[in-house]
Amino acid sequence: MEKDLLGTIIDFQTDPSTEVVNETVFKRLFWAFRLCILGFEFYEPIVQIDATWLYGKYKGTLLLAVAQDGNNKIFPIAFAIVEGETKEAWSFFLKNLRQHVTPQVNICLISDRHVSIKSTYDDLQNGWHDAPTSHVFCVRHIAQNFMRWFKDGELKKKVEGMGKNYLFPCKFDILFV
């Protein structure tokens, strides 16, 4: 595949602990297309990460990193298929993302409040503290969680409003941590 997609970054891991004779057992896969990596250089240094479950015959979790253009269109920059939202899986993804796609200084990483993401970002071995970066929480995720508990749409709007910066308008609603 790498020979067909020149410049594409691929990190494929197998599971050596699984005992299957003459078989390779899939564990994790990270990939970032060369054009997405090159394209990100022209975007604001803001990266949003999230995960979604995979359903059907093949289970697992899809991790993804995206940026947004000036028209609020989503621009994908990296992907991974992993076993779940574990610290090890997020570490695999964020380390590859930092090394191959977002080595620039002053990257702002936006995520939900998943404990595994925060601990992975804080782990010095993953490279996010080699150059100045920041990690912030997405206010929309916080508002969604707030809505689950309080079921009040007006209060949810107020929570979302807390993330808006009226002096310096920004297309992202974030809460700095």
Predicted confidence (pLDDT) per residue in 95-145, tens digit:
999 999 999 999 989 888 788 888 999 889 988 988 788 888 776 666 666
Asked, for residue 3, whether it belongs to a domain, the answer is: no
Percent of the chain with pLDDT over 90: 39
Domain that holds residue 164: 9-176
Q: How many domains are contained in the chain? A: 1
State residue 22 phi and psi, 5-degree precision: 55, 25
Q: Hey, how many other C-beta atoms are within 10 angstroms of the C-beta on 30?
A: 24
Asked, for residue 85, whether it belongs to a domain, the answer is: yes
Predicted confidence at residue 67, as pLDDT, reads: 93
Asked, for residue 131, whether it belongs to a domain, the answer is: yes
**Mean pLDDT of all residues in the chain?**
83
Predicted confidence at residue 175, as pLDDT, reads: 46
Burial environment of residue 52 by CB neighbours within 10 A (0 to 12, 13 to 18, 19 or more): exposed
Tokens of 40: 């990100």
Q: What is the DSSP string of 32-95?
A: E-HHHHHHHTTS-SEEEEEEEEE-SSS-EEEEEEEEE-TTS-EEEEEEEEESSS-HHHHHHHHH
Interstrand relation of 74-82 and 26-32 (parallel, antiparallel or unpaired): antiparallel
Predicted confidence at residue 177, as pLDDT, reads: 42
Spatial contact of 68 and 172, defined as CB atoms under 8 Å apart:
yes
Asked, for residue 4, whether it belongs to a domain, the answer is: no
Residue closest to 176 by CA, chosen among 167, 168, 166, 164: 164
* Separation between Cα atoms, residue 144 and residue 50, nearest integer Å: 14
Read off the pTM: 0.81
* Separation between Cα atoms, residue 121 and residue 68, nearest integer Å: 21
Longest Cα separation, the chain:
62
Asked, for residue 122, whether it belongs to a domain, the answer is: yes
Asked, for residue 143, whether it belongs to a domain, the answer is: yes
Asked, for residue 2, whether it belongs to a domain, the answer is: no
Asked, for residue 28, whether it belongs to a domain, the answer is: yes
